[in-house]
Amino acid sequence: MSSASFDGIPAFAIVSFMAAEKERILTGDTPTGKLHLGHWVGTLENRVALQHEYDLFVISADLHALTTLKDDPARVRDYAREVLLDNLAVGLSPDAITYFIESDVPEIYELAAFFSMYVTHAEALRNPTIKDEIVAKKLGTRYSLGFINYPVYQAADILCVKASLVPVGKDQEAHIEFAREIARTLNARIGYELFPEPQARIGRVGKLVGTDGNPKMSKSLGNTIFLSDTEEEVTRKVMGMYTDPARIHATDPGTVEGNPVFIYLDAFGTDAHRNHIEEYKARYREGKVGDVEVKRFLAAVLNEFLSPIRARRETYAAQPDLLRDILARGAARVRAEAAETLKELRRGLKLTPIA
């Protein structure tokens, strides 16, 4: 037996068989802006950790981005490129991952059309994340029919490749539950388990606070530190951060709990920073350190975390042909998968012609 084969089976065949056996993950982003620190702790970190153990699909949900950018749609394409670069920059290898743009896979919309027939209007409107986003994004009564429908599209994103795990931030939990219900309903209707019931995997920090103290750092709220920010931008944003509003002087005892500066230190400090962070917390509580000193320390911690990410981003940004190729490969693979899923669904629903 040579080292390149096992009982006559070539090594590449064994490897591709094992790849086919891996469970699938579908996760992704809305191209409404560049990715930020909240995305790292909410979902990117889990993507990185799971990329080799699972068959991982990363979607850029461009149609969904029109929820907030419908009057400026050209920006969606620019952001889709930025979001791809952000994912590559954090170390999500294009060799391990299938990256694709939602609208490159029109089969998803056909699947969503089927799904929408199995969701009641009341259910769609009851979705707590939809309600929160209407308020947070100040949509008032101007939100589109597509906005209410986007959890249905998201279910189609996930189920078109039969993904069983979805690494997301806390705000997405309701949508994943919604996708589970759709899978359950359709499986029951057709009488076998065509779709897995996807599980959410919430990140280490399910919802990272914004630099302004808003409970969610969000591209749409302008309270972000982007993964692509320069050292100067990070330092400037950190120096302007919201801290403990009750603390006027450096000698006033301060509150650490719920203070965004300490939340970020806990989230992005490494083991090597741990003692230093605890020391700052103690001094802050006792009124023995000023905000400026703690913020300078935070800026250094964040810049250390972001430095390799910036470098990788630059390398990929210089290769537009590679970016195009990654997306073309991804679209081709997902189109084939989604077409197969649709065929199975039609067959299950007995919608296929008899002949």
CB count within 10 Å of CB 353 equals 5
**Exactly one of 24, 25, 26, 30 binds ligand ATP (CB under 6 A); which one?**
30
Give the binding range for ligand ATP (CB under 6 A) out of 34-42, 87-95, 272-280, 331-339: 34-42
Q: What track of x and - describes contact with ligand ATP for positions 256 through 295 (by CB under 6 A)?
A: ----------------------------------------
Residue among 207 and 310 whose Cβ is closer to ligand ATP: 207
Residue among 29 and 82 whose Cβ is closer to ligand ATP: 29
Q: Return the closest-CA partner of residue 223 out of 202, 203, 208, 204.
A: 208
Report the nearest approach of ligand ATP to the CB of residue 129 (Å): 9
Please count the CA atoms within 13 angstroms of the CA of 44 that sit on its side-chain side. Answer: 22
User: Residue 219 interacts with ligand ATP (CB under 6 A)?
Assistant: yes
Kindly provide the b/e burial profile for residues 117-147, where b requires at least 16 CB atoms within 10 angstroms of the residue's own CB: eebeeeebeebebbeebbebbeeeeeeeeeb
Residue among 254 and 260 whose Cβ is closer to ligand ATP: 260
CA pair distance 308, 301, nearest whole angstrom: 13
User: Residue 129 interacts with ligand ATP (CB under 6 A)?
Assistant: no
Give the binding range for ligand ATP (CB under 6 A) out of 169-177, 183-191, 317-325, 335-343: 169-177
Give the binding range for ligand ATP (CB under 6 A) out of 24-32, 154-162, 249-257, 335-343: 24-32
Report the nearest approach of ligand ATP to the CB of residue 299 (Å): 19
For residue 57, give the 3-state DSSP assignment: strand
User: Residue 38 interacts with ligand ATP (CB under 6 A)?
Assistant: yes
Report the nearest approach of ligand ATP to the CB of residue 9 (Å): 39
Sign of CA dihedral 91, 94, 98, 102: positive
CA pair distance 268, 122, nearest whole angstrom: 41
CA pair distance 189, 183, nearest whole angstrom: 10
Strand partners, 101: 60
Report the nearest approach of ligand ATP to the CB of residue 215 (Å): 8
Report the nearest approach of ligand ATP to the CB of residue 166 (Å): 8
Please report, to the nearest 10 degrees, the dihedral formed by the alpha carbons of residues 315, 320, 321, 323 taken in order: 80
The helix/strand count (H/E) of the chain reads as 15, 7
The H-assigned helical ranges of 252-290 are: 260-268, 274-286
User: Residue 217 interacts with ligand ATP (CB under 6 A)?
Assistant: yes
Give the binding range for ligand ATP (CB under 6 A) out of 28-36, 102-110, 156-164, 346-354: 28-36
**Exactly one of 208, 277, 298, 326 binds ligand ATP (CB under 6 A); which one?**
208
CA pair distance 163, 56, nearest whole angstrom: 9
Give the binding range for ligand ATP (CB under 6 A) out of 18-26, 141-149, 210-218, 283-291: 210-218
Nearest residue relative to ligand ATP (C-beta): 42
Report the nearest approach of ligand ATP to the CB of residue 69 (Å): 9
Q: What track of x and - describes contact with ligand ATP for positions 55 through 84 (by CB under 6 A)?
A: -------------x----------------
Contacts of residue 245, Cβ cutoff 8 Å, sequence gap at least 6:
none
Task: Write out the E strands in the chain.
Answer: 5-6, 9-10, 24-29, 55-60, 97-101, 165-168, 199-202
User: Residue 171 interacts with ligand ATP (CB under 6 A)?
Assistant: yes
User: Residue 154 interacts with ligand ATP (CB under 6 A)?
Assistant: no
Q: Which secondary-structure segment (H or E) carries 246?
A: none
Question: Residues in the site for ligand ATP, rule: CB under 6 A?
Answer: 29-30, 32, 38-39, 41-43, 68, 168-169, 171-172, 203, 207-208, 216-220
